[in-house]
C-alpha cells in the first residue's frame, strides 16, 4: 500500500518535471561549470537559468542576488555568520521564540561566544507584534532574523511591517522563508529584506539544495572560501543537477502559486472543519492567525501526539508530532510552549501538512482513521 503522505512541511515529493529536468545533469551533461571549455560553459549557462527562476519566485531584481547552498540550514547559518563577520563591531542579534533550530542553534552557540541574543515573544496564536522590535533593536544590533512562516503551526509573521519598522535602524534583516516559499507570494523588491533563506525540498525539488538571497549592497562575508564560485559568496563545485531541479521547482511553484494555493487551502479548511466536528477535545493551534494554506497543528485533549503518529503510521498515514523525543523523554514543542500552550496540550498535538499532490481521497482516508485513533490513544492514556 502506498502511504498517505501528509507531512509536506518535513519534505515534499520531487515533481516529475523536476526529475526530468535534472536527469541530463546526472548523465551526459556532467561538465564542471567553472571549466572554460564548451562543456563547462554549457552547464554554467543552465545554472544561471536556474538562478533566474529562483530569483523570480521571490521577486529578486538581480539573479546574482541568489546564492545556491546545500540546504536551508546552510542558508540560515551563512546569513547569520556572514552578516556578523561583516559587522564585527556589533554583537547583538534579535530572533523570535519560534525560530527553527537552524537559527536557534547557531544563536545559542553565539551566545556562548560573546554575543547577546534577544528573543522576541509571540502571542497565544503564535503571532509576533512588530512593535516589540522598537525597543529590542539597538545601535549594537547586527542582525534581526525572523521567519516568514512557522514550520510547526504555519503562522505567518508580518514581514512587510517588520521591514518597515527596521527601515531606519541600520540592521541587516534576514528572514527564513523555507516554509513560505512556493506557498505564498514573496516579493523581496517590495520589502526591505536584506537576506532570505530557501530550501528546495520544501517545494518539490530534491533534498540537499538551498539558496540564500542577499540583496545587493548587504554586508556579507562568505562562510565557505575556496574557488570563488557563486559570485565569490559560496565556494565549492556546484550541485548542478539539484540547482537545475530547484530552478524548475521554483518555476512550477511560481506558475501555479494561486491555483495551487486555492485548492490546498480549501482541502485543508475542510479537513480542519471535519476534525473539529468529529473529534471532541480537538483544537487548531494558531487558528486566529494568518497561516500557511497547507498546515494544521492540532491538539487533542488527553492524548499523546507521538502515539497518534505511530498508530497512523501503522495504518499507512504519515503525519508528524509536535513533541520531540529526546533521550526517551517527550519534550514539549518549543514553538507551542512559546505560544503559552500547556505541556499536556502540546504533548497531544500533531502536525498535518498538505501539498499540491495531496488528494481529497487521502484526506478521506485520514478522516476514516483519525477519530478512532485519537479515541484509542486517549483511552490508553486514561487507563
Write down the least CB distance from residue 353 to ligand PLP, Å: 10
| Interaction residues for ligand PLP, span 146-175 (CB under 6 A) | 147, 151
* Long-range Cβ contact pairs of 43-46 (< 8 A, separation 24 or more): 43/240, 46/240, 46/243, 46/244
> Do the Cβ atoms of 222 and 82 come closer than 8 Å?
yes
DSSP 138-168: -TTEEEEE--SB-TTT-BBP-HHHHHHHHTT
7 binds ligand PLP (CB under 6 A): no
Instruction: Name the minimum Å distance from CB 249 to ligand PLP.
Output: 13
Closer to ligand PLP at the Cβ: 31 or 126? 126
Q: Is 325 a catalytic residue?
A: yes
Cβ(128)–Cβ(160) under 8 Å?
no
Spatial contact of 164 and 190, defined as CB atoms under 8 Å apart? no
Beta carbon of residue 222, minimum distance to ligand PLP (angstroms, whole number) = 18
How far, rounded to the nearest angstrom, does the alpha carbon of residue 4 sit from its chain's CA centroid? 22
> Which CA distances in Å does 20 have to 14, 240, 265, 342?
10, 14, 28, 47
Closer to ligand PLP by Cβ: residue 72 or 130: 72
Q: Rule CB under 6 A: say whether 145 interacts with ligand PLP.
A: no
Rounded distance, CA 192 to CA 165, Å? 10
Task: Compose the 183-212 pattern: x for residues touching ligand PLP by CB under 6 A, - for all others.
Answer: ----------------x----------x--
Residues in 315-374 that interact with ligand PLP by CB under 6 A? none
Least gap, CB of 214 to ligand PLP (angstroms): 17
CB 308 within 8 A of CB 349: no
Pick from 7, 65, 176, 230: which binds ligand PLP (CB under 6 A)?
Answer: 176
As annotated, the active-site residues are 325
| Residue ranges that bind ligand PLP, judged by CB under 6 A | 71-73, 76, 100, 102, 147, 151, 176, 178-179, 199, 210
Amino acid at each position: 500500500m502506498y502511504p498517505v503522505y501528509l507531512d509536506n512541511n518535513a519534505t515534499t515529493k520531487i515533481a516529475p518535471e523536476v526529475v526530468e529536468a535534472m536527469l541530463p545533469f546526472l548523465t551526459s551533461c556532467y561538465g564542471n561549470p567553472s571549466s572554460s571549455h564548451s562543456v563547462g560553459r554549457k552547464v554554467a549557462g543552465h545554472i544561471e537559468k536556474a538562478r533566474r527562476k529562483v530569483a523570480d519566485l521571490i521577486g529578486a531584481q538581480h539573479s546574482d542576488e541568489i546564492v545556491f547552498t546545500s540546504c536551508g540550514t546552510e542558508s540560515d547559518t551563512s546569513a547569520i555568520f556572514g552578516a556578523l563577520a561583516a559587522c564585527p563591531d556589533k554583537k547583538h542579534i534579535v530572533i523570535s521564540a519560534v525560530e527553527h533550530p537552524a537559527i536557534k542553534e547557531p544563536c545559542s552557540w553565539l551566545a556562548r561566544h560573546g554575543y547577546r541574543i534577544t528573543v522576541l515573544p509571540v502571542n497565544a496564536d503564535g503571532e509576533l507584534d512588530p512593535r516589540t522590535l522598537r525597543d529590542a533593536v539597538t545601535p549594537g544590533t547586527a542582525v534581526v532574523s525572523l521567519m516568514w512562516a512557522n514550520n510547526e503551526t504555519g503562522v505567518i509573521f508580518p514581514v512587510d511591517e517588520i521591514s518597515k519598522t527596521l527601515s531606519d535602524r541600520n540592521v541587516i534583516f534576514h528572514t527564513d522563508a523555507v516554509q513560505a516559499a512556493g506557498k505564498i507570494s514573496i516579493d523581496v523588491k517590495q520589502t526591505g529584506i536584506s537576506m532570505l533563506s530557501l530550501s528546495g525540498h520544501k517545494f518539490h525539488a530534491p533534498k540537499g539544495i538551498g539558496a540564500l538571497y542577499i540583496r545587493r549592497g548587504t554586508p556579507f562575508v562568505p562562510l565557505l572560501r575556496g574557488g570563488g564560485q557563486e559570485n565569490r559568496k559560496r565556494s565549492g563545485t556546484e550541485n548542478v543537477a539539484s540547482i537545475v531541479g530547484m530552478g524548475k521547482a521554483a518555476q512550477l511553484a511560481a506558475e501555479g502559486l494561486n491555483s495551487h494555493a486555492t485548492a490546498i487551502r480549501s482541502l485543508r479548511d475542510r479537513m480542519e472543519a471535519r476534525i473539529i466536528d468529529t473529534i471532541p477535545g480537538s483544537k487548531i493551534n494558531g487558528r486566529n492567525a494568518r497561516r500557511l494554506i497547507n498546515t494544521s497543528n492540532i491538539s487533542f485533549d488527553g492524548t499523546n501526539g507521538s502515539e497518534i503518529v505511530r498508530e497512523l503510521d501503522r495504518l499507512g498515514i504519515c503525519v508528524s508530532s509536535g513533541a520531540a523525543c529526546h533521550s526517551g523523554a517527550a519534550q514539549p514543542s518549543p514553538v507551542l510552549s512559546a505560544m503559552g500552550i500547556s505541556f499536556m496540550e502540546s504533548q497531544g498535538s500533531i502536525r498535518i501538512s498538505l501539498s499540491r499532490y495531496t488528494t481529497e481521497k487521502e484526506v478521506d482516508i485520514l478522516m476514516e482513521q483519525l477519530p478512532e485513533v485519537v479515541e484509542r490513544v486517549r483511552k490508553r492514556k486514561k487507563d
